[in-house]
Amino acid sequence: MSKHPVMLAACTVMLVACGSAGAASVPASATVSGVGVLPGTEGTTTSDRTSVLTTGGVSTSSSGVTVLVGGPVGLRASGNRILMIGDSVLASTSSRYTNDMCNVLVPLGWQVEIDAEVGRFIDFGAKVLDDRLSAGWDAAVVFLGSNYNNDLLSYTQALDRLVRRLSPNPVVLVTVSEFDPSRIAV
């Protein structure tokens, strides 16, 4: 059998993984410094953030998605495997470019997969999940919005579906800068 069909199948989904199967596992109870601290928790101590988590620091959005109000994602993850989905901005941090994401997260114990490509819209997230969700992830990061087609309803619905598919694992949503007036909606 030729190796070409195997290579073609392997390239069907462009992904970049960093870390190794032997990377140290991060217990769910561990605080991973600098990873996943949500807005509004800066300047708080680890015990303050843990208190937020243990005292019901969550709310439910209008669409029924549970939203963590504060605290590190590392405390919510059941393991150390993180899936990152995005466009060119996130891709620029992968090993194909600067490798910044892996350089920061792998030493902290995370096993990272970055599925990000130039020019991707929100529907790219569903395609990644169709191919990669079954691999088993403990947390996710979604950064899709730089390429926005000015359809807030479609964008919001697609983002909501992504978060629901990734549930119950913690999901960090990263937004875009307001480099264009249309990005205010994102």
Give the pLDDT confidence of 52-71 residue by residue, as tens digits.
Answer: 333 334 555 554 555 555 56
Beta-carbon contacts of 109 under 8 Å, excluding residues fewer than 6 positions away, are 23, 24, 25, 26, 30, 32, 80
The amino acid at residue 91 is A
Residue 44 has pLDDT above 50, yes or no: no
Residue 37 pLDDT more than 60?
A: no
Q: Mean pLDDT in the chain?
A: 72
Quick one: average pLDDT of 63-84? 73
Measure the CA–CA gap between 34 and 41, rounded to whole angstroms.
11
pTM of the predicted model, to two decimals?
A: 0.67
User: CB–CB of 54/29 below 8 Å?
Assistant: no
Phi/psi at 69 (5° precision)? -80, -30
Tell me the pLDDT band of 45, cut-offs 50, 70 and 90. very low
> Does the pLDDT at position 17 exceed 60?
yes
Indicate the helix (H) or strand (E) that contains 179.
Answer: none
Give pLDDT, residue 179: 81
Integer Cα distance of 36 and 51 in angstroms: 16
pLDDT-derived band at 25, boundaries 50, 70, 90? very low
CA 26 to chain centre: 17
Bridge partners, residue 81, by sequence: 111
Q: Which helix (H) or strand (E) holds 78?
A: none
How many CB atoms within 10 Å of residue 152? 12
List the beta bridge partners of residue 66: 60
Cα 158 from Cα 126, distance rounded (Å) = 8
Whether 103 shows a pLDDT value over 70: the answer reads: yes
Measuring CA to CA, which residue among 53, 76, 93 is closest to residue 172?
76
pLDDT in tens, 135-186: 999 999 999 999 988 999 999 999 999 999 999 999 999 988 888 888 888 8
Q: Which two tokens stand for residue 1?
A: 């059998």
